[in-house]
A = this chain, B = another copy of it.
């Protein structure tokens, strides 16, 4: 295979790690009799989707209609759009629902009235529950059971609408400190969902990477929808959800300037490549950690462990300023690559996905945003 020289910030995946991450979650779900409907917003790649399929996955989650269309074109036939129904995309949703089993999220009488008026294709309805995270969904407490019953009544005899279950995303789990608290939030969320459902014949769908990775018992739910675990990232590392050697995505960034007196280098890798999402490392908000890795692909070995003390401290549009203490800064040259493990891998993929994703053995995997 021809050597690939990396010229600009480039997404690199370690396929072996990705396949191990997928196998872990698929096996865990299978053992506990829970459907794994992974969230594909993290990788947005049909090729990586195939690796899930090879692990037995048949149903997926996406976060936009466009992403649902893309994965439908690549053979996926059971897709949930885990985002509140956007009435302005009714035509596209109707068209797509004629090709695949499509699930959408509804949470209010107003949204359901729009669904009844605009959507005529067969659709699974998931009623979104807010488990206390404060983003979207019916509040799990108090009135929620009555609210769900009212929504079910409002669906009424609509022949194309099929109420399927209650769905939540426990975003609040990212405020947990440590594994024990993550397990507790996960369990609490499952209990809150059961309470919201009481007496109703509906499925339960939960799922986030911290809870699904760490919970020993996934609980009495029908499906889980984690996404980030396919790559993990520094946020998951700092939460104690993964080890560094499970992080399967890095952004290879050329070094363009060195400042030994500041113990900093400037990399080609800025806000438009890494996103401006941060994670606290040793009390400081950083955009990622950095490791050494191959200067060109294909390569047998991937990147190493994060270099101690090396982190992306500041970002502007195209520049990254990376703290790089001695002895690392003394060993690096202008033109070398550093492998940045991003704070948040989902957003790095969104930022850079138009260029595809390179595997260590030099295959370019297309994504939703790369030219076909």
Complex Cα distance, B136 from A8, in Å, reads 18
Q: Check if B135 sits within 8 Å of A256, measured CB to CB.
A: no
Complex Cα spacing A350 to B354, Å: 12
Within 8 Å of chain B (Cβ to Cβ): is A95?
A: no
> At the interface, is chain A mostly helix, strand, loop or mixed?
mixed
Query: A99-122: which have CB < 8 Å to B?
Result: 107-108, 110-111, 114
Bound complex: CA of A85 vs CA of B266, how far in Å?
11
Smallest beta-carbon distance A237→chain B, Å: 19
Assuming A83-B268, A271-B275, A347-B271, is B111 touching A257 (CB within 8 A)? yes
Chain B residues near A333: list those with CB within 8 A: 110
Complex formed: what's the CA distance from A83 to B317 in Å? 10
Given A8-B89, A88-B254, A334-B87: A135 in contact with B321 (beta carbons within 8 A): yes
Q: Are B257 and A334 in contact (CB under 8 A)?
A: no
Bound CA–CA A317/B171 (angstroms): 12
Give Cα A108–Cα B63 distance, bound, in whole angstroms.
Answer: 45
Given contacts A41-B317, A84-B266, A317-B41, contact A272 B334 (CB under 8 A): no
A317 with B86: CB separation less than 8 A: no
Interface status of A217 (Cβ within 8 A of chain B): no
**Judging by beta carbons under 8 Å apart, are B317 and A134 in contact?**
no
Say yes or no: A334 contacts B111, CB within 8 Å: yes
Residues of B contacting A275 in the complex (Cβ-Cβ under 8 angstroms): 271, 275-276
| Size category, A interface | 35 or more
- B316 engages A258 (CB within 8 Å): no
Q: Which residue of B lies closest to A346 (CB)?
A: B317
Give Cα A350 to B351, complex, Å: 9
| B residues near A136, Cβ cutoff 8 Å | 256-257, 266, 319
A6 an interface residue at 8 Å Cβ cutoff?
Answer: yes
Residues of B within 8 A of A254 (CB): 86-88
B318 contacts A83, C-beta separation under 8 Å: yes
* Contact mask for chain A residues 228-261; partner B; CB cutoff 8 A; 1 contact, 0 none: 0000000000000000000000000010111000
CB closest chain-B residue, reference A266 = B136
Q: What 1/0 mask marks residues of chain A from 333 to 372 whose CB sits below 8 Å from any chain B CB?
A: 1110000000000110011001000000000000001000
Chain B residues, Cβ within 8 Å of A354: 354, 369
A residues with a Cβ closer than 8 A to B are 5-8, 41, 63-66, 83-89, 92, 107-108, 110-111, 114, 134-136, 171, 254, 256-258, 262, 266, 268, 271-272, 275-277, 314, 316-319, 321, 333-335, 346-347, 350-351, 354, 369
- Not counting A84-B266, A135-B266, A271-B277, a sample of 4 additional A-B residue pairs whose C-beta atoms are within 8 angstroms of each other reads A83-B268, A84-B257, A276-B276, A276-B277
